[in-house]
Structures are given as C-alpha cells and as structure tokens.
Amino acid sequence: MKVVIIGTGYVGLPTGVGLAELGHTVVCIDKDEAKIKKLNARQLTLFESGLEELFKKNIAAGRLTFSTTLQDHIPGADIVILAVGTPPHPVTKEADLSFIYAAVEEVAPLLKDYTVLATKSTVPVGTGDKIEEILEKTNPKADVDVVSLPEFLREGFAIHDFFHPDRIVIGTKAPKAIKILTDLYQPLGEDIPLHIVSRRSSETIKYASNAFLAVKIHYINEMANFCEKTGADIAEVAKGMGLDSRIGPKFLQAGPGYGGSCFPKDTNAMAYMGREAGVNLSLIETTIYGNDARKQQMSIRIIEALKDIPHPKIALLGLAFKGGTDDCRESPAVQIIGHLVGTDADLVAFDPQAMEQAKKILGDNVNYAPDAYTAVQGADAVVILTEWTDFKTLDWDKIKPLMRTPRVLDFRNLLDKQALKEKGFIYQKIG
Ligand code: UGA
C-alpha cells in the first residue's frame, strides 16, 4: 500500500517508520528542507528509543523515502496521513488548526483516484467535517474519505506502542476506508484491536483519553501530598490501589507533575471545547490548574530544603519531560528550573539526551555538565527531575564525597530510599 505522511515530528516519523516496517511504501513529507535533507542523509531528526535501527533498515529496503513536495506523491497514494502540529493558541489554548487546513488545501487539488485522508494529529471534534468542507470547495470531484485516526504512541516508547497497540481507533463509517485501514494494519496480526467508530467519537476518544490520564496523574500527586502529611507512603498506596483491576496500576506514579507536548496541550484544548459547548468539565479544569501549580510547589521544596545555605549549588539531573526522550516541551524539569533562575542558587544541569533541546529554552541561565558526576561536584543537593534509568544506576558511594552536602531530592521516586539513607544522604522523595 502507498502511504504519504505529512509532518515528520514525534508522531509522523515513528508512524512512517512503523508502517514501512509493516511492508508499506511510505513517503514522509515536510516543508522543512533542512529536516528532509538530514533524513535523506539517513540521520534522524529526533531521538526516539529503537527508531534508528528500523529507520535505516527501511530506507535501505527502499520502503521509506522523504520529500519536501507533495506533487509527485499524492496522486497514486492509497492513504494520506496528516501528522502536522496542532499547537495551543497562546491565549485561549484552543488547538490551532492552521497547519492542518493549509495541508488539506495543498493536498486537495492533487487527489486523483480514491484516497483515504486520515488525520493523525490531535484535532478538536468536528475537524473532519471542516476538512470535508475544504475538499468540497477546492476539489469537489475528489474521490476521498476523511477519517480520524488518532495516535496513542507514547514518546520514548513509540516503536513499542506502534507494534503492540492497546487499540487502533478508526473514525469513519465509510466501508471503503474501513477496508483500506484494516488492510494497512493487518500485518500487525489477526487479533489487532480495531475500534471502528464515528469520526466525531474518534476525535473525542483521543482528548478524553489524554485528559483522563492527566486527571489520574494529578489525583496521585494530590494523594502524594496527603501521604506526606499523614505518614502514609505513596508507593504503597499506589500499588494497593492499582491492584484493583478497575483502577489498574498504570499512571499512578507520583512526580513533579505531567508535561510533554500532549497532556498540557490536550487538557487545555479539551477544557476549551467544554466551555465552547457549554459543558462543565470541572475535573479537567482543576487538573490543569493543579498541575501548573505543582511545578512551582516543587521549586519551593528545593528552596526550602536549602534555605540555610547561602548560595547553594544545585545539581539538576534530568531535563526531558520524561525518560527515554530528548523532548523538553512543557517539561516539568525545565519549568521547575525556570522557577529557580533568579534565586541565589548556582544551577548545574545534566540530561543524557535532552541537553541541546533544554539549552534552547534555558539558555545560559544554567550551567551544563557533561555527565552526572561532574554536575554533583560541590553540590548541596541533587534533584532528580527526570526518571532516566541512567540515574538509577549512579554510583552513590562515588557521588557522596563529591558533594558539599549529601542531599537528594528525588522528585521521580527513582532511587532506593533506604540504601541512600544508609550511605548517609539526606533523602527526600515525593509522597
Ligand atoms: C501521551 C499518551 O500517554 C499517549 O498515549 C499519547 O499518544 C500521547 O500523549 C499523545 O497524545 O501524542 P506522552 O506525552 O509521550 O504520551 O507521555 P506519557 O508517557 O503519557 O507521559 C506524560 C507525562 O506524564 C510525563 O511528564 C510523565 O512523566 C507524566 N507521568 C506519566 C507521571 O507523572 N506519572 C505517571 O504515572 C505517568
């Protein structure tokens, strides 16, 4: 099957590589010439665990190519997948659909034979209808079905998730489109969990899922606050809750708040859609507010812990919004550090993958160390901000004499509390 993917970001690129690995012929399109040049030179433009091997393999097999132009690729494509950004509006936070609509305007006149036009970008309910209106105006003769095909890949695990989906949601009632999309994913196996629904339901499933997961995280973070005041332990509480199959063990990891390019954006967009529809989504509104405040509360914890030390040196381990990625968009780590900039603390940061991305945001407000052991030198506190496994395996016997004060604030509950206490560290965790 011939697939064209428009947009080569964290959604488009792993999806393109995954579909090529399934045996399809995939062309990934992006307007950014530098990006396409790099991809054509077989260099990845983002870090995603396990992506590189499949990327190179499928280019070599001739199934995966990259281009800046649509003209040669849209005619003859069975499926065109929109995977461009839908960033939040700076004021209202509603999803900005200008990239989607611009792509549709360009694709429309090029459509020849029957084509499925699928939206993988996260778009508000009703966007599929608007895309149809554009197609109707621009190329009324086009033989096309507009489908919602939301993605549920987690960054850092995108390749794993692509090949082991919990579900593939297909938002269309058009039999021809259903057949083509079923065939597209057929190589995943006989039992692929297809969920075929109306386009509006599909668009809503994506937002409702991300918002629910965000609420779950905010809930466990509030429980962590409660545990801190009452002497319970959040790890024990979360495990005890998660053993109930109705609750489930996932997304009950307390931490510094959720971040990334999806949850903050999608909860805000969902809240906006609720307000627009006149529906009270108070749970989501409260989650957004609570999660924003949490990053500041985390920085206050650091300041409080060091209040008796003049000009403390703080080693900040982790900059990415979570482990396994170099992505710093809406990263709690970066936001917490942002709250520390301007205090009298000397800030030194290290991340195994995200230094370049973080530098674009934090600039020279922070010093950057080449590794964790350099970062901790002379420090009065180590703060674990991202749950990298690299930090789990650090040699704390080596670290202790390097620090001025052996203090650890573990905002990801990554380390062994007992072991660190026995080594003489002052250890503070979440919950
Ligand atoms: C999220 C969803 O999990 C994906 O299903 C979805 O496809 C994606 O958004 C998207 O809409 O594109 P992602 O943003 O990559 O994926 O990251 P998650 O693994 O979901 O983590 C999001 C944030 O929640 C991170 O900051 C993470 O540290 C935090 N988190 C996650 C917690 O604080 N506790 C948890 O138990 C789980």
Q: Is 262 a catalytic residue?
A: yes
Starting at the edge strand found earlier in the chain, the sheet holding 115-119 runs 64-67, 25-29, 2-6, 79-82, 115-119, 144-148, 168-171, 194-197
pLDDT digits (tens, 9 = 90+) for 106-141: 999 999 999 999 999 999 999 999 999 999 999 999
Dihedral pair phi/psi, residue 169, rounded to 5°: -95, 125
263 CB within 6 A, ligand 1: yes
What pLDDT, on a 0 to 100 scale, did the predictor assign at position 9?
93
Is 237 close to ligand 1, i.e. is its CB under 6 Å away? no
Residue 342, Cβ density class (10 Å: 0-12 exposed, 13-18 middle, ≥19 buried):
exposed
Q: What share of the chain is helix, strand, coil (3-state, %, to 5)?
A: 45, 15, 40
DSSP reduced 3-state for 61? coil
Three-state DSSP class for residue 405: coil
Please state the pTM of the whole predicted model: 0.94
Phi-psi region of 189 (alpha: psi -120 to 50; beta: other; left: phi over 0): left
| Binding site membership of 251 for ligand 1 (Cβ less than 6 Å) | yes
Can you give the pLDDT at residue 410? 98
Catalytic, out of 28, 227, 262, 328: 262
pLDDT number for residue 91: 86
* Residue 156 pLDDT: 87
Give the burial class of 273: count Cβ atoms within 10 A of its Cβ; 0-12 exposed, 13-18 middle, 19 or more buried: buried
> For residue 213, how far is its CA from the centre of ligand 1 (angstroms)?
8
Residues 278-290 have pLDDT tens digits of 999 999 999 999 9
Model confidence over 80-96: pLDDT tens digits?
999 999 988 888 888 89
- The pick from 154, 204, 430 for probing ligand 1's pocket by mutation, whose C-beta has the most ligand atoms within 8 angstroms, reads 154
The Cα–Cα gap between 54 and 427 comes to 41
Distance (angstroms) between ligand 1 centre and the Cα of 154 equals 6
**Which pLDDT score, from 0 to 100, does residue 55 have?**
98
Residue nearest to atom 10 of ligand 1 (CA): 262
Which ranges of the chain have pLDDT less than 70?
A: none
For residue 228, the model assigns a pLDDT of 97
* Cβ within 8 Å of residue 92, ≥6 positions away: 272
- Based on the number of CB atoms within 10 Å of its own CB, is 136 exposed (0-12), middle (13-18) or buried (19 or more)? exposed
Ligand 1 nearest atom to the CA of residue 325, by list position: 15
Cβ–ligand 1 distance for 219 under 6 Å, the answer no
